[in-house]
Amino acid sequence: MTTVHLALDPDADALLASDPLALVIGMVLDQQIPMERAFAAPLALQDRLGATLDARAIADADPDRLAAIFAAPPALHRFPGSMARRVQDACREIADHYDGDASRIWTDAVSGTDLVRRLRALPGFGEQKARIFAALLAKQFGARPDGWQEATDPFGEPGSFRSVADIVDDASLAAVRATKAAAKAAAKAAVGAAGSRQATATDRSTTADPSTTTGVPAGRAPAKRARAKRAPVTSAPVESGATRRAHGTR
């Protein structure tokens, strides 16, 4: 039987290896939380439901009750309400289109492109997640329809250590995490370099064109603000008419 090393818990990993629906649910939940927490959740969900995982039963469950099950401490996800809805929608898709058998998503696929398309149609699966999961199915479960490696590029590349598709033990887990850390560091450095180039270009533009700081075209001095002329202030007393006559003035 296939063994997996995703939940980092023997019982949870055993369920993932034996139950296709558990594997799909784990992949749906694998976002914005640690990988091992996402893939341990299907076993916790099964225990809380008190029955084996069943796509039709989950699809038909009361949404509020399912959300409460996801939210009960410890919560099955960082966003229990929204992820409960997403899991329920995925189960409904499987119940309606695959008669409740999640494995038919890949066993009925006629090509790698068809497999990725089927996964992409599941709620909670974007293009990248569909490619990663298809690569996981091929590398660890032997689901390898024609063209699977091209359809899952770059995650289907052997020994790439890019995703959960390559995790089979502690050493490969460390390698995948190192690859992701390096990719994040490179992306951060690229953003910083782009910001530095933009700042340098702005500085050069400002230096070459003084108008960017003065608000007037280069080579022309700013106009001085005109000031209104005021009459000079005198301290001479104002003479009355009688005084002017006494001095012989008019």
The pLDDT tens digits of the residues spanning 136-195 come to: 999 999 999 999 999 999 999 998 899 999 999 999 999 999 998 998 899 888 887 777
Q: Note the pLDDT tens digit of each residue in 64-88.
A: 999 999 999 999 999 999 999 999 9
pLDDT at 1: 72
Cα separation, 233 vs 7, whole angstroms: 92
Half-sphere exposure of 106 (CA within 13 A, CB side): 22
| Torsion sign (Cα): 31, 32, 36, 39 | negative
- Lowest mean pLDDT of 48-62, 118-132, 234-248, name the range: 234-248
H or E segment to which residue 41 belongs: helix 35-49
- Lowest mean pLDDT of 92-101, 195-204, 228-237, name the range: 228-237
pLDDT at 2: 86
Q: What percent of the chain has pLDDT over 90?
A: 71
124 CB contacts (<8 Å, ≥6 apart)?
27, 28, 86, 87, 89, 90
Cα separation, 47 vs 67, whole angstroms: 15
Query: Residue 79 in 3-state DSSP?
Result: coil
Cα separation, 106 vs 110, whole angstroms: 9
- Global pTM? 0.76
Q: Note the pLDDT tens digit of each residue in 18-36.
A: 999 999 999 999 999 999 9
H or E segment to which residue 88 belongs: helix 80-97
Examine the pLDDT at 211 and tell me if it is beyond 70. Answer: no
Report residue 197's pLDDT band, with 50, 70 and 90 as the boundaries: confident
Q: Report the alpha-carbon angle 227-230-232, nearest 5.
A: 140
User: 119 with 93: CB under 8 angstroms?
Assistant: no
User: 88 with 59: CB under 8 angstroms?
Assistant: yes
